[in-house]
Amino acid sequence: GSPHTPPGYIWHIALAMQGLTADSREEKLRLLQVMSRTDAGTGLMHESSKADDPAEYTRPWFSWANMMFCELLMDYCGIRVMR
């Protein structure tokens, strides 16, 4: 989480950073899947979602989290813009 989100909420940016720093492709894929499953059917990343109910989230659209999801996906696909 973050000091900007309610207690018990998972911060999507942190999930993306965990994936970007992971050593294995399996961990990167697992985190991409977690992020995809917690979009509450919107197709967008939120600032955060409640750990036990992803349908409860903060910010219906959060560009920073969306961008971090894209960075993780590109990293998983072997596309690195910056090294």
In the numeric block, which tokens belong to residue 26?
Answer: 């399996």
SS3 for 11-74, per residue? Answer: EHHHHHHHHHCCCCHHHHHHHHHHHHHCCCCCCCCCCEEECCEEEEEECCCCHHHHHHHHHHHH
47-77 pLDDT, tens digit per residue, is 999 999 999 999 888 899 999 999 999 999 9
The pTM for the full model equals 0.87
